């Protein structure tokens, strides 16, 4: 058995510790990070890369956006408390790691999972189920909970020193943070959840999109984190920019592809229409821009740009009623 492994790197504390523990035992590692549109990454922040750089191991990134959309729509093992298909997502990651094992000539996989830390995917029976489903029985080493689980093949064969692994379980994080300080790890992200599918507020918007847009599309999902969203009817939603940056993102996404509205003679939000346009939508868009913008007293001039390239300017003299706006807000 080769002293070489694929380590699953989320960029968080547990996966960083798992990688460091095995690296310090002389195991040659390659990190694998599964990238998809539901990761709560701040612009310019990629902790998985920083973790691997700090430990000194290479990183392979696998983008699986479309695959994740299908899992969210129809997970074989169901959703968690929100729309998180944690078991199916982990299986996708294990299968990617298994393929990388062959390329890297690795003998096993390393995971930062902690027994009992997550209610859906880190129960004892679920860990064993995932290993079997991925065709990896005995080949997934979880260093942080190893003493509470049966020995894996690399432990049995002496590739890994079992006595230098840990017996942890549950949601407590102080011991992991203490070990990180002891090992000199600093590049990992906050222990708070990094998946938008566990965020109830995000999932309200995603649920609305699932109900009114089938199948899910990557571009639409990415926009769920941007702007204010208003559901007008089952066929139409308005996405309203909250600042200049979001206006530019909406413009890049919607201009010349979807009906689009923007203030013509004052600063304010821009609106991308997802779905059918109509005189009613035109009026609502104008009043919403009036509500969130800084229109002149004489009235707000709103520019309508249609996908055909046709443009027209119309005037709005009043804002939308607050209670009506709140009823439409997603």
DSSP for 58-102?
-EEEEE-HHHHHHHHHS-TT---SSS--HHHHHHHHHHHHHHHHH
Task: Flag the least confident range among 41-50, 57-66, 228-237, 288-297.
Answer: 41-50
**Residues in contact with 209: Cβ distance below 8 Å, sequence separation at least 6, in sequence order:** 216, 220, 221, 224
Please give the average per-residue pLDDT across 185-193, as a whole number.
79
pLDDT digits (tens, 9 = 90+) for 123-168: 999 999 999 999 999 999 999 999 999 999 999 999 999 999 999 9
Instruction: Flag whether pLDDT at 193 surpasses 60.
Output: no
Nearest residue to 303 (alpha-carbon basis) of 274, 269, 276, 264: 264
Nearest residue to 282 (alpha-carbon basis) of 255, 312, 324: 312
User: Burial, 94: exposed, middle or buried (Cβ in 10 Å; 0-12, 13-18, 19+)?
Assistant: buried
Map out the domains of the chain with their CATH numbers: 4-196 (3.40.50.620), 226-328 (no CATH)
The neighbouring-strand residues paired with 238 are 230, 273
pLDDT digits (tens, 9 = 90+) for 270-319: 999 999 999 999 999 999 999 999 999 888 999 999 999 999 999 999 99
pLDDT digits (tens, 9 = 90+) for 85-132: 999 999 999 999 999 999 999 999 999 999 999 888 999 999 999 999
Instruction: Flag whether pLDDT at 192 surpasses 70.
Output: no
Please give the average per-residue pLDDT across 6-19, as a whole number.
96
Instruction: Flag whether pLDDT at 44 surpasses 80.
Output: no
The whole-angstrom separation of Cα 109 and Cα 171 is: 23
Q: What is the maximum alpha-carbon separation in the chain? A: 81
**Residues in contact with 283: Cβ distance below 8 Å, sequence separation at least 6, in sequence order:** 316
Three-state SS string over 125-137 comes to HHHHHHHHHCCCC
Tokens of 148: 């509470």
């Amino acid at each position: 058995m080769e002293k070489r492994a694929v380590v699953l790197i989320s960029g968080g504390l547990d996966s960083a510790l798992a990688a460091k523990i095995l690296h310090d035992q002389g195991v040659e590692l390659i990190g694998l990070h599964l990238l998809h549109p539901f990761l709560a990454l701040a612009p310019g922040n990629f902790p998985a890369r920083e973790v691997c750089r700090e430990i000194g191991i290479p990183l392979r990134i696998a983008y699986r956006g479309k695959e994740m959309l299908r899992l969210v729509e129809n997970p074989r093992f169901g959703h968690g408390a929100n729309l998180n298909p944690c078991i199916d997502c982990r299986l996708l990651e294990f299968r990617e790691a298994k393929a990388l094992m062959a390329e890297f000539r690795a003998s096993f996989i390393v995971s930062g999972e902690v027994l009992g830390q997550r209610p859906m995917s880190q129960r004892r029976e679920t860990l064993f189920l995932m290993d079997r489903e991925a065709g990896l029985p005995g080949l997934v080493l979880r260093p942080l909970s190893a003493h509470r689980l049966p020995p894996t093949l690399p432990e049995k064969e002496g590739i890994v020193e079992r006595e230098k692994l840990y017996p942890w379980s549950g949601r407590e994080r102080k011991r992991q943070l203490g070990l990180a300080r002891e090992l000199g790890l600093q590049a990992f992200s906050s222990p708070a959840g990094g998946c938008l599918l566990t965020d109830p507020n995000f999932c309200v918007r995603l649920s609305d999109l699932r109900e009114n847009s089938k199948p899910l599309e990557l571009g639409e999902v990415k926009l769920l984190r941007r702007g204010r969203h208003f559901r007008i009817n089952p066929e139409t939603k308005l996405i309203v920019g909250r600042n200049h940056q979001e206006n530019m993102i909406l413009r890049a996404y919607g201009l010349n592809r979807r009906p689009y509205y923007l203030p013509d003679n004052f600063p304010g939000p821009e609106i991308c229409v997802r779905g059918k346009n109509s005189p009613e939508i035109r009026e609502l868009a104008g009043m919403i821009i009036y509500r969130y913008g800084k229109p002149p007293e004489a009235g707000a001039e709103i520019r309508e740009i249609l996908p055909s390239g046709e443009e027209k300017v119309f005037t709005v003299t009043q804002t939308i009623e607050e209670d009506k706006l709140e009823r439409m807000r997603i």
